[in-house]
Amino acid sequence: MTRKHAWGTILYYVVAMLLALIALIPFAWMISTSLKSRGALMSIPIEWIPAEPTLDAYATVFERFPFFQTILNSLFISISYTVITLFSASMAAYAFTKIHFKGSGPLLGVYLATMMIPTQVTMIPLFVIMNQMGLINHYASVILPSVFKPFAVFMLVQQMRTIPKDYMDAARIDGASVFGIYRNVILPLCVPTLATLAITTFMESWNDYLWPLLMLTDRSKMTLPIALSTLNGQYNTEYNVLMAGSLISMIPIILIYIFAQKYFKNGLMAGGIKG
């Protein structure tokens, strides 16, 4: 390794570490604020390390409303939303790429073109449909839109196009059905992309605020983002309580990413480069 290359490598890691530290500053401030008492929030100079750390803010979060119930609500909705998205999108991508039928190409193009339609445009018609079906204030009204996810289909189409036809022919010779090929051949070869979609879809559902707010009117059924919004008072906001609730809401996403990160990079590369 030449001296010029060595200095370039050192500079690269120094800049990367500085950027990482800058990105962690808001997170560190959240933790610090959540451990402060209400009187220490506006102290000057700012206390990055609280002089008298306390967990009162975390206790207050669970006292204000059924916070544990909102976590369970969000988990149920997010997991159901993710499972349905993966199942419906993978079957749609399988049909478009491996089951050849007349008009499959134009139909896929029209399907993917719906990604250009803003969510705000479809929100009112979707609300009317849910209302006519009698699903307002039911979890199903929040979960059912997961059946139609063009971006998930796009990523899986890109991945499935790279799967050689020989695998399917060999499975047919062994007597596998169309669904058997999908379950035993296609899905195992799409695990990295499916894992990536699982992470992004779970995060999307977990952090969704507007649609659950419109659909779920019962306080006992509200999701975590809605519950966190109630911590913002009209005239005053207890930032320590708000930061405590926000940190609790981040735990599931962080855990999922830690356990699935080895698939995340491969999935993005498979869905975004090959095709």
pLDDT of residue 44: 63
Mean pLDDT lowest for which of 37-41, 71-75, 91-95, 162-166? 37-41
99 against 41, higher pLDDT: 99
At residue 128, the pLDDT reads: 92
Average pLDDT rounded to a whole number, residues 246-272: 71
Name the residue with higher pLDDT: 48 or 226.
226
- Residue 267 CB contacts under 8 Å (≥ 6 apart), including other chains: 155, 192, 193, 194, 195, 196, 197
pLDDT for the residue 273: 45
Q: If you write DSSP's letter for every residue of the chain in order, what string do you get?
A: --HHHHHHHHHHHHHHHHHHHHHHHHHHHHHHHHTS-GGGTT-SS--SS-SS---HHHHHHHHHS-HHHHHHHHHHHHHHHHHHHHHHHHHHHHHHHHS--TTHHHHHHHHHHGGGS-HHHHHHHHHHHHHHTT-TTSHHHHHGGGG--HHHHHHHHHHHTTS-HHHHHHHHHTT--HHHHIIIIIHHHTHHHHHHHHHHHHHHHHH--HHHHHH--SGGG--HHHHHHTTB-SS-B-HHHHHHHHHHHHHHHHHHHHHHHHHHHHHHHHHHT--
In percent, the amount of the chain with pLDDT more than 70 equals 87
- pLDDT at position 275 over 60: no
For residues 160 and 97, is the Cβ–Cβ distance under 8 A? Answer: yes
Contact between residue 271 and residue 153 where contact means Cβ atoms under 8 Å apart: no
Is 72 in contact with 163 (CB distance < 8 Å)? no
Q: What is the band of 238 on the pLDDT scale with cuts at 50, 70, 90?
A: confident
Percent of the chain with pLDDT over 90: 18
Residue of 68, 83, 81, 64 lying closest to 229 (CA atoms): 64
More confident residue, 40 or 132: 132
31-35, 80-84, 233-237, 251-255: segment of lowest average pLDDT: 233-237
Is 274 a residue whose pLDDT tops 50? no
Residue type, 89: A
**Is residue 213 predicted with pLDDT exceeding 60?**
yes
pTM of the model: 0.81
Mean pLDDT, all residues of the chain: 83
Res. 272: pLDDT tops 70: no
**At 45, is the pLDDT very low, low, confident or very high (cuts 50, 70, 90)?**
low
pLDDT of 162 above 90: no
